[in-house]
Structures are given as structure tokens and as C-alpha cells.
Amino acid sequence: MCEIGSAICLPDSEPYKVMIAINDFSMITDAPLETKKNYCRWNKRFNLTTLTCSYRSIDDLERVYIYLMKKDKPICYWRGEAKDF
């Protein structure tokens, strides 16, 4: 399960989206519920999803990426290890 709350200190007042990607699996938010100057609020909770893949362990799964999307283009990202989740 994944939940996206809000983002602050954004570059401008665009209606950004957030995408979470694990290898070839991804989830993306809809337009934010609220947009103000340099701020977006989504309050998005994704449905519980079981990720089935051919990796033998969580160590092999590698990384999780969280992208800030302006329209359909990623403008920045955070990268973390899947085993930390």
C-alpha cells in the first residue's frame, strides 16, 4: 500500500503529479485536490497491490523511484532501496 499526502517548496504553482516506480511497475496520482503557491495536496491512497515478479529476494528487486511529474514529464526524483520498505 502507498499513500501520497502533499508536497511543499515546489518550483511553481503547477498541478503536479507523483509517480512511484519499482522496475517496470508504476503508480501515478491524479491531479492534486489542492494547489497553491509552491504546494500540492493529493491525499491519495493507492489500493493494496501485490507485485509479482521474477526476483528471488527483496535484495534483487533493487530500487524504488518517486518522481515529481509536471504534466507527463518527470522533473525530479528520489531513489531508495526496495528492501528499506
Q: Which pLDDT score, from 0 to 100, does residue 8 have?
A: 93
Nearest to 68 by CA among 56, 59, 78, 58: 78
Q: What is the mean pLDDT of residues 22-43?
A: 92
pLDDT digits (tens, 9 = 90+) for 46-81: 988 877 777 777 777 778 999 999 999 999 999 998
Q: What is the mean pLDDT of residues 28-38?
A: 94
Contact 5, 43 (CB under 8 A): yes
Q: Which pLDDT score, from 0 to 100, does residue 50 have?
A: 79
Higher pLDDT, 13 or 55: 13
pTM of the predicted model as reported, rounded to 2 decimal places: 0.85
